[in-house]
Amino acid sequence: MRKVRMNVQGRVQGVGFRYMTKMVADELGIYGTVCNEEDGSVSIESMGEDASMITFIQKIKDSPSPAGRVTYVDIQEVPMMEDYTSFKVTN
């Protein structure tokens, strides 16, 4: 199980980005959370099988929201991240 934390920058707030991220995560069997940050970015904590995670990361980089635009994604492997049993949109 791969565990990844991402900070996504660009036009990612107010465009349905978090909800579309949840749809992609549910489709791929990814668990975790997505939330808005005060600086206008979006943070994602995610866990899933390696092949699914590769696809998930690529879909995030391409922006799951048609109105969104991703300019930068900081990706960190976090093996000690808590285990999730679903994918949730917070704040």
* Element at 4 (helix H, strand E): strand 2-11
Catalytic pick among 5, 7, 11, 36:
36
Q: Is the pTM above the cut of 0.75?
A: yes
Catalytic pick among 5, 18, 69, 91:
18
Task: Pick left, alpha or beta for residue 58 (phi over 0 → left; psi -120 to 50 → alpha; otherwise beta).
Answer: alpha
For the stretch 17-69, pLDDT in tens is 999 999 999 999 999 999 999 999 999 999 999 999 999 999 999 999 999 99
Q: Is 18 a catalytic residue?
A: yes
Q: Which fold has domain 2-82?
A: Alpha-Beta Plaits (3.30.70)
